[in-house]
Chain A
Amino acid sequence: MQAKFWFVALNEYRKHVFQKRFILAIISVPALLSVSFLVGFLTEYLTRNLDPVGYVDQAGVLADNNPVPEEVGNSNKVEFLAFEDQETAEQALEAGEIQAYYLIPTTYFETREVDLIYIKEPGDNAESDFFHFLRTNVSGDLPERERMLVLDGFDVTVRSVDGSREFNEKQIFNLILPIVFGFLFTFVLTSGSGYLSNAVTEEKENRTIEILSTSMSANQFILGKVLGIVMVIFTQVISWIIFFVIAFFGARAAFDAEWIDAAQIDFNLLLILLLLFIPAFFFFSGIALTISSMVTDSSEGQQAIGIVSMPVGFSYWFAYLIISNPGSTVSVILSLIPFTLPTLMPLRLAFGVVPWVQIALGIGIMTLCAFFTIWLAARAYEMGMMQYGKRIRLRELLWNSTKGGGKK
């Protein structure tokens, strides 16, 4: 028994993993992230202008010309040049020596209004740098520590009343992790819909199934197939996790950011996510195998799997609702429905306190559903063998399975 389903599992695994398509699917996530990172970097680079900015200070607020402390704002700061009057500032602007200039009128202290004068739109960075420059000089009389706090801001730690959850800058990964898991899950389902729908139809089409059915039972075959598919999915997910870990340590080495150094991961959260996602993968593999056993050709199967996995994609429509109100009745219901659970329960875990009962219920529902779909897949396979070339209807499958199909 053991050897046979392992044989099926390993064969299924080998069939998919050593394919060009699979390698492309693995590379696609790092490639997509690299492109997003590059686009972000380019956007930042293109909206930045490091040319000096002038100012005409009629209110005398910048008389001390205190520079912005290193810790505040970005590291590539714009240089500020003082001008006696508007005329000289305008000449410098027209000569292209400065990208824009600020006029601080005598009424500044009453109104806080300043004029930004330019010919071409100045960079976003120039405006934010001047904001910090003005703020630094306005708060010049404060004691050093208070001034730094005013300029750099306080750190806030959000804590639940029972103390079970805490969030501050250091725990950013506890917020990101569940979201990343949800996205990876969705990505696995969409990128893998091809091999999921082909799981049984391929053997049906090339008639290998006739030989297989003489050597092993439906349960052995389906169990082997499910294990093979889940192993394929795990290979994909583990490859991505390895990429994330490398990217994390790479970022830590490249950027000397304090928050990356101090980052912490809640291992309880990680465990809960694993306990939710492992049965979720089995659940969807079970569904894929059921569909694949019911239909007669792979394109039909792919359509059906597309429809079944649609709720996973649509679940993100409710993301705002979950994030803003993770404890509402609608959020709780949505996070316990097996089709939306893998994406919405992690969001609730990230943005709220989920009672242990609901977490246990979620894991229980997912595990039971996984067993059910695998069992159903075995029944569909048996029926498919007896009704060769005919599409099985869901009602027919459920009716026959509950009547006596579960005996084998």
Chain B
Amino acid sequence: MKKIFFVLITEIKNRVLRPAFWIFTLGLPVVAFLIMWGFTSASGDSQESILNMIAPSQNVETWGLIDDSGVITEFPADLEESGVFLEVYPDTESAEAALEREEITEYYYFPADLIESGEYYLVTPDFNPLDGTSNNWAIDWVLTFNMVGGDKLLASQVQYPMFENRISLSPDEPATDGDNPLAFAVPYGITIFFYMMIFSSASMMLNSISKEKQNQVIEVLLLSVTPHQLLVGKIVALGLIGMAQTGIYIGIAQVLLKLSGRSFDVAASFSIPSNLIVWGVVFFLLGYSIYASLMAGAGALAPNAREASQLTFIFIIPLIIPLFFITVLIENPNGLLAVIVSMIPFSAPVAMMTRLAAGNIPLWHPILSAVIMAVTAYLIIILVARLFRAQTLLSGQEVKPATYFKLLFSH
């Protein structure tokens, strides 16, 4: 235990006393904030000129319309209230002259066979294929309004026939707010954040081991401590550093946002389960222990850091799988696929956090998943510790994924 503590303290000291660690930990959020602050506090004129370089502003918001079909007889009264101004022109010459005078930004052309062909044109000086989709709702509204003979009530029913109130009869599954973008964005953000946390902390382990192997310090270390003590000490130390780093990022972001008079209160508009932070710590520690041990094994086997990092791709695949199915996991957190991927210990740390953030799931699911992960982490630490034998560390041969797993289970 004393030796584990010794390894732990040495590893923390080695990391924390490096200027690069503080530059990265404190510098990154500060630089991001300074860029944001610099831009938002720039004077009105300079801000406008920067914005103009990035995205030229448009002063005129009126669109032209040439209607050769005769379908349009009047515009709905609420069109201008929604910020859409349409100016009718008799022909393309006059519409193009208005474009040149910058009285309109673009114009629509309804050909004589509009109803038969079902096709109209949008003519724009800054051609962008996506323009055809961005303004569609207003033009569709004008067309629908005129096709139903100017009956606004009927037109609105035809255009958008229902507003849905979702009522769940299940006590375990409260109704989701399908219209709230945060219902998707929050679990999505938490998933990505979690993936990055585990991956970056586990990568620190890979660098640490492969560096010590390359400069041969590890051989000296293994004379004084057992591989198991070395591995546990390093895992705990780097896990604590990873968590502290994340805490510092969140803390700095909060303080800087407060200082600048802003706030980011997701909880106000979206309910995050209160126990999510507790589960977050549990699944981070377990997920990190599994991946950091695997990375440590890669570091011990590969002759250099570059070859070790090639091996990590294989390990990371199970962690990426939940990201592929993120939509399914968020929309159906209690579905079969969601349950399976959150019980497999290699994909569980990310998948279970997505499910926990997405909705109510039975309590025994995260508990069982955590137990499976704890057992897996324990077994992997024992197996990987065996890889730290002198001949494995000294071999220097090229390491393939198959060799890695063969060595892992051969002892």
Report A's interface with B, CB cutoff 8 A.
39, 42-43, 46-47, 90, 93, 109, 111-121, 124, 127, 130-131, 134-135, 138-139, 142, 145-146, 148-150, 152-161, 165, 167-168, 175, 299, 302, 321, 323-330, 350-353
Does residue B90 face the partner (Cβ distance < 8 Å to A)?
A: no
The residue among A47, A146, A153, A330 with the most chain B CB atoms within 10 A of its own CB is: A146
A-B contact pairs, 26 of them (CB 8 A): A46-B332, A47-B331, A47-B332, A115-B165, A115-B167, A117-B167, A119-B173, A120-B334, A127-B164, A135-B161, A146-B115, A154-B118, A155-B118, A156-B119, A156-B133, A158-B121, A158-B122, A158-B131, A158-B132, A159-B122, A160-B123, A161-B96, A328-B53, A330-B53, A351-B129, A353-B127
Residue of B whose beta carbon sits closest to that of A38: B324
Residue of A whose beta carbon sits closest to that of B107: A161
A37 and B348 CA atoms in complex are apart in Å by 24
A120-B173, A351-B129, A352-B128 given; A46·B56 CB < 8 A: no
B residues 73-124 touching A (CB-CB < 8 Å): 96, 99, 114-124
A327's partner among B56, B117, B143, B173 (CB-CB below 8 A) is B56
Does residue B176 face the partner (Cβ distance < 8 Å to A)?
A: yes
A157 and B331 CA atoms in complex are apart in Å by 35
- With both chains docked as a complex, state the minimum distance between the C-beta of A58 and any C-beta of chain B, in angstroms: 14
Contacts of A152 in B (CB 8 A): 118
Q: How many A-B contacts are there with CB distance less than 8 Å?
A: 178
Contacts of B121 in A (CB 8 A): 156-159
B327's partner among A43, A154, A158 (CB-CB below 8 A) is A43
A146-B147, A149-B118, A154-B140 given; A116·B331 CB < 8 A: no
Contacts of B166 in A (CB 8 A): 115-116, 118
Contacts of A116 in B (CB 8 A): 164-167
A93-B169, A138-B158, A158-B131 given; A352·B126 CB < 8 A: yes
Contacts of B306 in A (CB 8 A): 299, 302
A161-B125, A351-B128 given; A43·B167 CB < 8 A: no
The residue among A130, A157, A158, A324 with the most chain B CB atoms within 10 A of its own CB is: A158
B residues 119-167 touching A (CB-CB < 8 Å): 119-133, 136, 140, 143-144, 147-148, 153-154, 156-158, 160-167
Contacts of B156 in A (CB 8 A): 112
Contacts of A352 in B (CB 8 A): 126-128
- With both chains docked as a complex, state the minimum distance between the C-beta of B358 and any C-beta of chain A, in angstroms: 11
Contacts of A155 in B (CB 8 A): 117-120
B124 with A351: CB separation less than 8 A: no
Does residue B25 face the partner (Cβ distance < 8 Å to A)?
A: no
Contacts of A321 in B (CB 8 A): 54-55
A142 and B154 CA atoms in complex are apart in Å by 11
A145 and B116 CA atoms in complex are apart in Å by 8
Residue of B whose beta carbon sits closest to that of A110: B153
A353 and B154 CA atoms in complex are apart in Å by 40
9 pairs of A and B residues whose beta carbons are closest in the complex? A160-B127, A167-B129, A156-B132, A325-B55, A134-B161, A158-B132, A155-B119, A353-B127, A138-B157
Residue of B whose beta carbon sits closest to that of A90: B169
- With both chains docked as a complex, state the minimum distance between the C-beta of B116 and any C-beta of chain A, in angstroms: 8
A142 and B151 CA atoms in complex are apart in Å by 12
A353 and B131 CA atoms in complex are apart in Å by 13
A42 and B163 CA atoms in complex are apart in Å by 29
A114 and B147 CA atoms in complex are apart in Å by 25
A338 and B125 CA atoms in complex are apart in Å by 28
A91 and B148 CA atoms in complex are apart in Å by 39
Name 18 extra pairs, CB < 8 A, besides A150-B147, A157-B132. A43-B328, A46-B325, A46-B335, A115-B167, A127-B164, A130-B162, A135-B161, A138-B161, A142-B158, A149-B143, A150-B144, A154-B119, A158-B128, A159-B124, A324-B130, A328-B54, A328-B56, A330-B53
- With both chains docked as a complex, state the minimum distance between the C-beta of A114 and any C-beta of chain B, in angstroms: 5
Report B's interface with A, CB cutoff 8 A.
53-56, 96, 99, 114-133, 136, 140, 143-144, 147-148, 153-154, 156-158, 160-170, 173, 176, 178, 304, 306, 324-325, 327-328, 331-332, 334-335, 337
A351 with B130: CB separation less than 8 A: yes
Contacts of B122 in A (CB 8 A): 156-159
A213 and B132 CA atoms in complex are apart in Å by 60
A350 and B130 CA atoms in complex are apart in Å by 10
- With both chains docked as a complex, state the minimum distance between the C-beta of B223 and any C-beta of chain A, in angstroms: 29
Contacts of B304 in A (CB 8 A): 299
- With both chains docked as a complex, state the minimum distance between the C-beta of B95 and any C-beta of chain A, in angstroms: 10
A117-B167, A325-B55 given; A42·B143 CB < 8 A: no
A114 and B71 CA atoms in complex are apart in Å by 32
B169's partner among A109, A119, A328 (CB-CB below 8 A) is A119
A121 with B332: CB separation less than 8 A: yes
B115 with A149: CB separation less than 8 A: yes
Contacts of B116 in A (CB 8 A): 145
- With both chains docked as a complex, state the minimum distance between the C-beta of A72 and any C-beta of chain B, in angstroms: 13
- With both chains docked as a complex, state the minimum distance between the C-beta of B385 and any C-beta of chain A, in angstroms: 29
B119's partner among A124, A157, A324, A326 (CB-CB below 8 A) is A157
A299 and B310 CA atoms in complex are apart in Å by 13
A161 with B123: CB separation less than 8 A: yes
B158 with A139: CB separation less than 8 A: yes
B129's partner among A39, A146, A175 (CB-CB below 8 A) is A175
B120 with A154: CB separation less than 8 A: yes
A114-B163, A153-B140 given; A160·B124 CB < 8 A: yes
A43 and B341 CA atoms in complex are apart in Å by 14
Residue of A whose beta carbon sits closest to that of B115: A145
- With both chains docked as a complex, state the minimum distance between the C-beta of B211 and any C-beta of chain A, in angstroms: 14
B127's partner among A47, A124, A165, A328 (CB-CB below 8 A) is A165
A231 and B96 CA atoms in complex are apart in Å by 49
Contacts of A113 in B (CB 8 A): 162-165
Residue of A whose beta carbon sits closest to that of B333: A121
Contacts of A124 in B (CB 8 A): 331
- With both chains docked as a complex, state the minimum distance between the C-beta of B102 and any C-beta of chain A, in angstroms: 13
A287 and B116 CA atoms in complex are apart in Å by 57
A39's partner among B131, B144, B162, B325 (CB-CB below 8 A) is B325
B56's partner among A118, A158, A325 (CB-CB below 8 A) is A325
B123 with A159: CB separation less than 8 A: yes
A43-B325, A150-B144, A161-B123 given; A350·B161 CB < 8 A: no
- With both chains docked as a complex, state the minimum distance between the C-beta of A356 and any C-beta of chain B, in angstroms: 14
A160's partner among B55, B125, B158 (CB-CB below 8 A) is B125
A157 and B108 CA atoms in complex are apart in Å by 10
A109 and B56 CA atoms in complex are apart in Å by 43
A138 and B144 CA atoms in complex are apart in Å by 13
A222 and B135 CA atoms in complex are apart in Å by 54
